[in-house]
């Protein structure tokens, strides 16, 4: 039976999500890849245990994680909870989402309607054997459903006791502002937006979403912080055959040209001067943004989680280092 590390809270940083009272670990574990059907259950369980032992309290899922066997990541996470972690449920912040294609037909395709969101969460709770999740997200903006309907569905879910807080994912500033206005009228505990964001993907800044969230008490839980592995030491000398790009498992292979490799090596030089890995610098850079409450990392093995959590040991970037990052990223 699993027994967590007694010192798991000693080093991790915990941040409030926006102006809410909920604090989450500055680094969270995302279960998008390597936790579903076809993945090693033993490895997935070890990664969850490693994360919790290191002070990670936030575990982020979605109904369709485990594709093409949608729901299989939640099922496996439920099994991992059963095998020892469920005893620590009140120390965990568990989130899930709905919004992308999930099951056949018009009620489970990509949308934000009331029927889909409520029924999907019911299914997620059954798969994980939970009475509630801590955060339930609408996974992607739906232009074909009135935002009021989506917001009312999320508000209803909180009133049912099936989620403690609600969030949105992949919403831009304008969409966030519109749904926030509805949530304010309903007094729904809306606390978080989950966008993609990294040194190499800065749409959040260009859009003004981060500044808007700071001004309005909303936190950001950002995913793809390492830009599909670019911001690691894997691609400093090109493309290894066993990498995600080498296997054709990512859509951004064409971006890894000589200019990008030079940029990554310059960032890696800065990271080494700070006593860090490139991935740790990339995480620290994100956490220097006031809007970012937590960085969602994926992993294929426990050591990657250990390495990423190592970013906590040196989160502060001087203005000179931030300026150097800007110069490198503008190359």
Note the pLDDT tens digit of each residue in 167-214: 999 999 999 999 999 999 999 999 999 999 999 999 999 999 999 999
Q: What is the pLDDT of residue 254?
A: 75
pLDDT for residue 252 is more than 70: no
- Rg of the chain, C-alpha, whole Å: 19
pLDDT band for position 242 (cuts 50, 70, 90):
low
Q: How far is CA 37 from CA 3, 325, 329, in A?
A: 26, 39, 37
pLDDT at 81 over 90: yes
Phi, psi for residue 180 in degrees, rounded to 5: -60, -40
DSSP type of residue 128: H
Average pLDDT over residues 43-50: 98
How far apart (Å, rounded) are the C-alpha atoms in residues 157 and 186?
13
pLDDT interval class at 331 (50, 70, 90) = confident
**Complete DSSP assignment for 282-314:** HHHHHHTSTTEEEEEE--SSHHHHHHHHGGGGG
pLDDT higher than 60, residue 158: yes
Q: Tell me the CATH number for domain 14-229+280-315.
A: 3.20.20.100
**CA-to-CA dists, residue 262 to 37, 191, 267, 268, 330, angstroms:** 37, 38, 9, 10, 12
Angle between helices 147-159 and 173-186 (to 10 degrees): 50
247 pLDDT exceeds 60? no
Distance CA 147, CA 165 (A): 17
Q: Which residues contact 293 (CB under 8 A, 6 or more apart)?
A: 15, 16, 17, 18, 24, 26, 192, 219, 220, 221
Task: State the pLDDT at residue 243.
Answer: 55
Give yes or no for a cis peptide into 68 (omega within 30° of 0): yes
Q: How far is CA 248 from CA 34, 57, 223, 254, in A?
A: 16, 32, 20, 11
């Amino acid at each position: 039976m699993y027994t967590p590390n007694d010192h798991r809270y000693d080093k991790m940083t915990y941040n409030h999500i926006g102006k809410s009272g909920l604090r989450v670990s500055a680094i969270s574990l995302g279960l998008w890849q390597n936790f579903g059907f076809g993945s090693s259950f033993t490895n997935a369980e070890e990664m969850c245990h490693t994360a919790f032992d290191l002070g990670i309290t936030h575990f982020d899922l979605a109904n369709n994680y485990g594709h093409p066997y949608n729901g299989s990541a939640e099922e496996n996470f439920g099994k991992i909870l059963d095998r020892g972690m469920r005893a620590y449920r009140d120390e965990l912040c568990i989130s899930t989402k709905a919004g992308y294609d999930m099951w056949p037909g018009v009620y489970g395709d990509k949308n934000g309607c009331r029927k889909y969101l409520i029924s999907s969460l019911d299914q997620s709770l059954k798969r994980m054997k939970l009475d509630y999740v801590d955060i339930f997200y609408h996974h992607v903006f739906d232009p074909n459903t009135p935002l009021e309907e989506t917001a009312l569905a999320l508000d209803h879910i909180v009133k049912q006791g099936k989620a403690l807080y609600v969030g949105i994912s992949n919403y831009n500033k304008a969409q966030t502002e519109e749904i926030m206005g509805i949530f304010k009228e309903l007094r729904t505990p809306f606390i978080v937006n989950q966008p993609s964001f990294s040194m190499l993907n800065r749409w959040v800044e260009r859009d003004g979403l981060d500044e808007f969230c700071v001004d309005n008490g909303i936190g950001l839980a950002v995913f793809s912080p390492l830009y599909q592995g670019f911001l690691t030491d894997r691609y400093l000398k090109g493309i290894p055959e066993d990498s995600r790009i080498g296997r054709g498992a990512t859509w951004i292979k064409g971006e890894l040209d000589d200019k990008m490799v030079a940029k990554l090596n310059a960032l890696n030089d800065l990271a080494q001067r700070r006593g860090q890995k490139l991935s740790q610098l990339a995480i620290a850079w994100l956490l220097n943004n006031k809007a970012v409450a937590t960085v969602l990392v994926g992993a294929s093995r426990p050591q990657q989680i250990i390495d990423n959590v190592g970013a906590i040991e040196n989160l502060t970037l001087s203005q000179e280092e931030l300026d150097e990052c800007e110069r490198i990223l503008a190359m």
